[in-house]
């Protein structure tokens, strides 16, 4: 069943081939750091550290859309972090998914206060976590050769399991209608563009059955419109308990700054998700 659901979000055969070729090229050809351009390394130590969740914390875009769940981010979307996210998302630098997945895993754990749970609508801290990636449009998957959020979610679930957190990916959302490109749209325009655009796939309840908490995941949050729509679609389908959302990066000014709200990730947290 899980294999079937992964296949549903994998894109066309051409997209899979393009993704494979890009990944192979990244392994055999000389590369420069995606974050800073340092030679002969896909991701240097400094840029990897920038993704490690040094300032992981809750994120709240302003103005936040109605229905936005509690969101945790691992890093500010600027400099090297921005460059790495875009290299993976738009330029097919697929080997970067591992580092991005580690960052996402740190954000998921931050939502649990560093423990095994993820805090939110659910109660308690034990049990399996289901990561629900925000879906990409099929034409985007074909153009990119991969589904960025799904790929990062797979890497994050693997990191979480290695850290002792039972986790799996549940790709249960899909687009039910076409949406305009979000680039250049303001917060209100994005909310209007995405209103009612997502829905749960038939049988989604069976796929998420057994999960103690469900976390929506994506590589980036800007206005929060996408995460709010994903949460609405899950709630409309009766899928839960929804524990919140986690992203790799968010704008620096979107992090909630207050007593204890934003903190440096402990070395233990970073190591357990590496």
Structural contact between residues 97 and 155, judged by C-beta atoms closer than 8 angstroms = yes
* Nearest C-alpha neighbor of 93 from the set 40, 43, 161: 43
d(CA 3, CA 54): 34
Helix locations, the chain, DSSP H: 2-8, 13-28, 45-50, 79-90, 97-110, 138-144, 148-162, 187-194, 204-208, 225-236, 267-272
What are the residue boundaries of the structural domains of the chain, listed by start? 2-272
Which residue is listed with tokens 């939110």?
120
* Nearest C-alpha neighbor of 231 from the set 215, 211, 209: 215
pTM equals: 0.80
Burial (0-12, 13-18, 19+ Cβ within 10 Å), 175: middle
249-264: pLDDT as tens digits: 999 999 998 634 444 4
d(CA 96, CA 118): 25
Would you state the pLDDT for residue 140?
A: 83
12-70: pLDDT as tens digits: 454 455 555 555 555 555 589 999 999 989 999 999 999 986 679 999 999 889 999 99
């Amino acid at each position: 069943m899980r294999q079937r659901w992964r296949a549903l979000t994998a894109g066309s055969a051409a997209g899979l081939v393009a993704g494979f070729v890009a990944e192979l090229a990244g392994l055999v050809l000389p590369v420069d750091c995606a974050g800073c351009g340092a030679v002969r390394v896909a991701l240097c130590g400094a840029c990897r550290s920038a993704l490690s969740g040094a300032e992981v914390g809750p994120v709240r875009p302003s103005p936040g859309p109605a229905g936005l769940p509690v969101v945790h981010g691992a890093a500010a979307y600027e400099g090297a972090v921005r460059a790495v996210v875009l290299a993976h998302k738009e330029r097919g630098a697929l080997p970067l998914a591992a580092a991005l997945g580690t960052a996402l895993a740190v954000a998921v754990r931050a939502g649990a206060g560093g423990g095994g749970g993820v805090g939110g609508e659910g109660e308690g801290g034990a049990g399996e976590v289901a990561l629900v990636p925000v879906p990409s449009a099929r034409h985007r998957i074909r153009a990119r050769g991969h589904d960025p959020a799904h790929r990062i979610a797979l890497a994050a679930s693997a990191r979480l399991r290695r850290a002792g957190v039972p986790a799996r990916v549940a790709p249960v959302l899909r687009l039910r209608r076409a949406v305009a490109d979000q680039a250049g749209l303001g917060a209100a325009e994005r909310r209007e563009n995405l209103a009612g655009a997502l829905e749960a796939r038939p049988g989604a309840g069976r796929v998420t059955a057994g999960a103690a908490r469900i976390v929506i995941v994506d590589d980036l949050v800007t206005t929060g419109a996408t995460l709010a729509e994903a949460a609405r679609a899950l709630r409309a389908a009766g899928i839960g308990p929804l524990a919140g959302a986690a992203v790799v990066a968010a704008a620096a000014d979107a992090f909630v700054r207050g007593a204890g709200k934003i903190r440096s990730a402990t070395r233990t947290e970073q190591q357990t998700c590496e």
